[in-house]
């Protein structure tokens, strides 16, 4: 089949544990998990900032008539406290007034707007989901400035080969939102939380979910190079191109390797392998050749090797090259390819919610 042949042609490095061997069981994969995390961070995104000693949310404003009164829109200042520093960023929280804990999205967004063209908030609320969002640049600016916003506290300099990149900073913030969710279990079902993002923030969502097992669903929309797409053999954006344009997203080791026309063996399938036994969800757009839908699909397909270790089905597919329109949602991983260009659309949101609804229904049926 095409997928197996293509993966064999690209000859991707095997996922290995600290003993140098590929895991053959779920137990061996769990034993290798921390090692694989470290490999991903030191070779691609840089050191992850540590978890704060304490977090708390200070209410800044509340709109009780939001979504025709179906939900409040509350803006908090989410504060992280460390022994030697304190810093914060705005968090916008919308929770349906259902009377019971509801599933939720942690949305890493490009703008502070609620709703937003990438966040159809009322539709999300109408389907019974909460959405907690933050603007990524309110955490760390999307440029080479490591001394603005929270970036000045999260940065460990740029001299070390594994110095923290901006994607790791934004992922750190998404994890702090999950810390907050755990403080309000009467409103949100903390076992049914998804982290979601688009483009560079789809890369961020993948890193967040790979590093933090508290997220049951990890959703990456059109994230392409250094995100959901396997880098080796990729068309469109390459490691050299992305590290030339956006070097500040990554650690210096990844930049140096990309600029030398090299290839980082710790490719994106290492990142995706950290999602099972939870649900990996990837969306592509047929006109988004810069991201390369084929390489995004191949990465989800390759995670089947890891899902099998847990006795799960992973992506249910015949392995043929994806043809638009396509939605593969019968297994424990999800992939879809829609018409159109690089965008986070209503269609994408509804496809993701449909899949999570189906997963939740299966979970409820198993518990009966």
- CB neighbours of residue 245 within 10 Å: 10
Residue 106 Ramachandran class (φ > 0 left, ψ -120 to 50 alpha, else beta)? beta
Active-site residue flag, 342: yes
Distance separating the N- and C-terminal Cα atoms of the chain = 38
Active-site residue flag, 61: no
Residues 6+ apart with CB under 8 A from 320: 1, 2, 3
Q: Are 4 and 262 in contact (CB under 8 A)?
A: no
Residue 201 Ramachandran class (φ > 0 left, ψ -120 to 50 alpha, else beta)? alpha
Q: Are 57 and 91 in contact (CB under 8 A)?
A: yes
Q: What letter would DSSP give residue 116?
A: B
- CB neighbours of residue 186 within 10 Å: 6
Q: Tell me which H or E stretch contains 210.
A: helix 200-211
Nearest to 207 by CA among 252, 173, 253, 160: 173
Q: Are 80 and 86 in contact (CB under 8 A)?
A: yes
339, burial (CB in 10 Å: exposed 0-12, middle 13-18, buried 19+):
exposed
| Catalytically annotated residue among 199, 220, 284, 345 | 199
- HSE-up (13 A, CA, CB side) for residue 2: 11
Active site residues: 199, 342
């Amino acid at each position: 089949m095409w997928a197996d042949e293509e993966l064999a042609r690209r000859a991707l490095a095997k996922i290995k544990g600290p003993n140098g061997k590929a895991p053959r069981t779920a137990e061996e994969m769990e034993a290798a998990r921390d090692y694989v995390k470290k490999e991903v961070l030191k070779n691609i995104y840089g050191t992850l900032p540590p978890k704060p000693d304490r977090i708390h949310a200070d209410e800044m404003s509340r709109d009780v008539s939001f979504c025709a009164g179906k939900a409040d829109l509350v803006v908090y200042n989410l504060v992280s406290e460390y022994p030697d520093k304190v810093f914060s960023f705005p968090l916008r929280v919308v929770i349906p007034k259902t009377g019971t804990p509801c599933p939720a999205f942690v949305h890493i967004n490009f703008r502070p707007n609620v709703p937003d063209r990438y966040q159809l908030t009322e539709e999300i609320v109408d389907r019974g989901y909460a959405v907690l969002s933050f603007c990524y640049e309110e955490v760390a600016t999307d440029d080479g400035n490591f001394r603005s916003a929270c970036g000045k506290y999260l940065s460990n300099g740029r001299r070390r080969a594994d110095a923290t990149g901006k994607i790791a900073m934004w992922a750190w913030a998404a994890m702090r939102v999950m810390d907050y969710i755990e403080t309000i279990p009467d409103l949100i079902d903390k076992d049914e939380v998804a982290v979601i993002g688009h483009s560079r923030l789809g890369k961020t969502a993948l890193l967040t979910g790979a590093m933090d097992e508290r997220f049951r669903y990890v959703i990456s929309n059109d994230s392409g190079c250094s995100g959901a797409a396997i880098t080796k053999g990729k068309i469109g954006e390459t490691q050299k191109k992305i590290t030339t344009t956006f070097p500040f997203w990554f650690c210096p080791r990844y930049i140096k390797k990309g600029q030398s026309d090299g290839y980082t063996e710790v490719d994106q399938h290492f990142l995706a392998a950290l999602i099972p036994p939870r649900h990996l969800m990837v969306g592509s757009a047929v006109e988004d050749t810069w991201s390369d839908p084929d390489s995004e699909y191949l990465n989800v397909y390759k995670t089947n090797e890891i899902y099998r270790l847990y006795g799960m089905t992973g992506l249910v597919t015949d392995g043929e090259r994806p043809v638009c329109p396509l939605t593969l949602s019968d297994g424990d991983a999800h992939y879809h390819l829609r018409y159109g260009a690089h965008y986070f659309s209503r269609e994408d949101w509804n496809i993701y919610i449909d899949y999570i609804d189906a997963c939740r229904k299966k979970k409820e049926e198993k518990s009966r």
